[in-house]
């Protein structure tokens, strides 16, 4: 919660009181609690007057906003944490305010297991046994650290793909690192999907940066014995960037077009340009794979990538995974 500046003259001097109120309202996007207003020197009469005139509007018991129009997401977030003293934004709300994902309809807050937190429309309360250790220091509004918010969202995601997505997106956006996430996971006695999350973090530490890259690694590459490539290899020719999968020895690049970044006209033009640059300036071929090849038909895709690698000099042989049903394209 915002720490209100103290002054020995704040009660006796209306000018000082108004300045302190203005400071708190500015810092908290126009939202203030009754106790904060009193700490600034506001009297009960002033509070009643502000509410009666419509200068302030009550959002929750003891929580006010300084206008009567629609609330912004940040104002709803402030109202949620001020309405439950000692709470902090958590789950997707903590990620949203850190810059990852769109604001949801509900505000998620975490409270201590024994804390009183009344149910309110639009606010989801999560109880946490180690909240103090998980809250990020000095942040406003108060929020749990990104690492714990990510683990919470991944653990409660509707599917494993969604869980992988939030882990990969957070690392790709550089909000944290796979190592820090692993440390946060190790600090927890219990975490939903611990085994999956731990494995994904290990892979992220090795260079996978998206759901599709992780799926290529775990569904196409590893189960079928394909050689280990370089991941996120920086380009040295043409357009600057990073190659998703680069088989340096055989001069083959695999680009993975996932859900994000390939839907607009600029991206549709940039992708073949990168392939052209690789072919002309680096003498490398490019294979561009999407969800159908990696998620829908991983066994068939592995066989075809193997054929291509063998044609370029790879002496290995792909293996069958437990899910392989049809003969591999390399079978004679």
Residue range 30-52, pLDDT digits in tens:
999 999 999 999 999 999 999 99
Residues 304 and 241 in one domain: yes
C-beta of residue 113 within 8 angstroms of C-beta of residue 127: yes
Q: What is the mean pLDDT of residues 228-246?
A: 78
Predicted confidence at residue 282, as pLDDT, reads 61
- 241, 286: one domain: yes
Instruction: Say if residue 196 is in the same domain as residue 238.
Output: no
Does residue 233 sit in the same domain as residue 293?
yes
Structural domain contains residue 326 = no
Query: Does 254 reside within a domain?
Result: yes
In a domain, residue 31? The reply is: yes
Residues 122 and 140 in one domain: yes
Same domain, 260 and 181: no
pTM of the model: 0.73
pLDDT, residue 15, reads 64
The tokens describing 270, both together, are: 């940039």
pLDDT digits (tens, 9 = 90+) for 190-201: 999 999 999 889
Do 266 and 302 lie in a common domain? Answer: yes
Task: Using DSSP bridges, classify how beta strands 63-65 and 31-33 pair: parallel, antiparallel or unpaired.
Answer: antiparallel
10 Å Cβ neighbour count for 286? 19
Cis amide leading into 141 (omega within 30): yes
Decide which of 210 and 142 is more confident.
Answer: 142
Query: Does residue 2 lie in a domain region?
Result: no
Residue 329 within any structural domain of the chain: no
Q: What is the pLDDT, as a whole number, of residue 239?
A: 63
The least confident of 64-78, 257-271, 291-305 is 257-271
Q: What six digits make up the tokens of 308?
A: 């291509």
Written as one string, the DSSP assignment of 134-186 is HBPTT-SS-BB-HHHHHHHHHHH-SSHHHHHHHHHHHHHTTSS-HHHHHHHHH
**3-class DSSP state for residue 102?**
coil
Choose one of 163, 182, 205: the last residue of a domain: 205
Last residue of a domain, one of 178, 205, 232: 205
Asked whether residue 8 is domain-assigned, the answer is: no
Q: Are residues 131 and 94 in the same domain?
A: yes
Q: Are residues 307 and 218 in the same domain?
A: yes
Domain identity same for 216 and 274 = yes
Domain count, the chain: 4
The fraction of the chain above a pLDDT of 70, given in percent, is: 84
Q: Does 177 lie in the same domain as 242? A: no
Rounded Cα gap, residues 45 and 28, in angstroms: 23
Query: What is residue 260's predicted lDDT score, i.e. its pLDDT?
Result: 43
Which is nearest to 317 in space by CA: 326, 285, 332? Answer: 332
pLDDT at 14: 63
Note the pLDDT of residue 332: 43
- Let me know if residue 321 belongs to a domain: no
Residues 182 and 159 in one domain: yes
Asked if 294 contacts 212 with a C-beta cutoff of 8 angstroms, the reply is yes
Query: For 156-181, what is each residue's pLDDT tens digit?
Result: 999 888 898 899 899 988 999 999 99
Q: Which two tokens stand for residue 321?
A: 């995974």
Token pair 């069958």 in the structure block, residue: 320
In a domain? residue 1 = no
Q: Structural domain of residue 238, as residue ranges?
A: 211-311
């Amino acid at each position: 919660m915002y720490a209100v500046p103290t002054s020995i003259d704040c009660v006796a001097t209306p000018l000082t009181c108004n300045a302190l109120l203005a400071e708190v309202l500015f810092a908290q996007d126009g939202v203030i609690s009754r106790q904060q207003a009193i700490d600034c020197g506001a009297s009960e009469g002033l509070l009643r007057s502000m509410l009666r005139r419509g200068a302030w509007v009550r959002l929750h018991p003891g929580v006010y906003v300084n206008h009567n129009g629609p609330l912004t997401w940040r104002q709803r977030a402030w109202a949620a944490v001020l309405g439950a003293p000692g709470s902090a934004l958590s789950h997707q709300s903590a990620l949203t305010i850190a810059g990852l994902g769109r604001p949801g309809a509900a505000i998620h807050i975490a409270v201590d297991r024994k804390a009183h937190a009344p149910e309110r429309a639009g606010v989801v309360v999560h109880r946490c046994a180690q909240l103090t250790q998980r809250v990020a220091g000095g942040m406003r509004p108060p929020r749990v650290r990104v690492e714990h918010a990510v683990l919470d969202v991944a653990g409660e995601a509707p599917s494993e793909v969604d869980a992988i997505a939030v882990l990969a997106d957070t690392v790709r956006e550089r909000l944290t690192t796979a190592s820090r996430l692993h440390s946060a996971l190790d600090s927890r006695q219990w975490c939903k999907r611990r085994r999956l999350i731990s494995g994904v973090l290990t892979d992220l530490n090795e260079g996978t940066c998206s759901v599709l890259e992780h799926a290529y690694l775990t569904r196409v590459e590893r189960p079928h014995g394909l050689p280990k490539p370089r991941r996120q290899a920086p380009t040295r020719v043409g357009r600057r960037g990073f190659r998703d999968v680069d088989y340096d020895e055989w001069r083959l690049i695999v680009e993975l077009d996932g859900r994000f970044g390939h839907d607009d006209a600029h991206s549709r033009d940039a992708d073949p340009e990168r392939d052209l640059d690789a072919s002309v300036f680096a003498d490398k071929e490019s294979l561009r794979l999407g969800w159908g090849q990696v998620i829908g038909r991983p066994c068939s895709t592995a066989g075809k990538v193997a054929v291509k690698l063998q044609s370029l000099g790879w002496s290995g042989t792909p293996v069958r995974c437990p899910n392989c049903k049809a003969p591999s394209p390399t079978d004679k």
